[in-house]
């Protein structure tokens, strides 16, 4: 199992960014995927989840209304777009795969290496 995030970088406040997570080594279309972030020197914060079929999505209050999680099962990729970026969105963003197929639960058996998003003018 391998998860590789990309799309991070330095972005100005108010702009948008789309993160990608490319998956391999398992049947991607059978697993829900989550995004978790960690601000520098801080704890972990759950961000969003998308079900295996893309029909169910949930978001943290901190990003709700300005973020969209999506997936492309034929491309084995999950995305997180965040609009109207704020300084407090600065963090390492991890994608994570749940333990059990078809479950949207929070037991993340596999994680990517993370991609750093820095919101600064």
Partner 1 sequence: AIRMTQSPSSLSASVGDRVTVTCRASQGIRNDLAWYQQKPGTAPKLLIYAASSLQGGVPSRFSGSGAGTDFTLTISSLQPEDFATYYCLQDYNFPRTFGQGTKVEIK
Binding residues for partner 1, rule: CB under 8 A, are 34, 36, 43-46, 49, 58-61, 94, 99, 105-109, 111-114
Instruction: Give least dist CB 35 to partner 1, A.
Output: 11
**Percentage helix, strand, coil for the chain under 3-state DSSP, each rounded to 5:** 5, 50, 40
Give just the sign of the alpha carbon dihedral 56, 18, 95, 53. positive
Instruction: Give least dist CB 107 to partner 1, A.
Output: 4
Instruction: Give least dist CB 15 to partner 1, A.
Output: 25
Q: Contact 39/45 with Cβ under 8 angstroms?
A: yes
Q: Which is nearer to partner 1, 15 or 42 (CB)?
A: 42
In Å, how far from its chain's centre is CA 36? 6
Q: Which is nearer to partner 1, 44 or 87 (CB)?
A: 44
Tokens of 16: 């948008």
Q: Which is nearer to partner 1, 15 or 100 (CB)?
A: 100
């Amino acid at each position: 199992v391998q998860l590789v995030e990309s799309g991070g970088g330095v972005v100005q406040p108010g702009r948008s960014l789309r993160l990608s997570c490319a998956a391999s080594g398992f049947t991607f279309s059978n697993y829900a995927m989550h995004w978790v972030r960690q601000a520098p020197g801080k704890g972990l914060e759950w961000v969003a989840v998308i079900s295996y079929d893309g029909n169910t999505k949930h978001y943290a209050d901190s990003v709700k209304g300005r973020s969209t999680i999506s997936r492309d099962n034929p491309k084995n990729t999950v995305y997180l777009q965040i609009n109207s970026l704020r300084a407090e969105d600065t963090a390492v963003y991890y994608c994570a795969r749940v333990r059990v197929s078809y479950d949207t639960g929070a037991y993340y058996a596999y994680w990517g290496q993370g991609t750093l998003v820095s919101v600064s003018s």
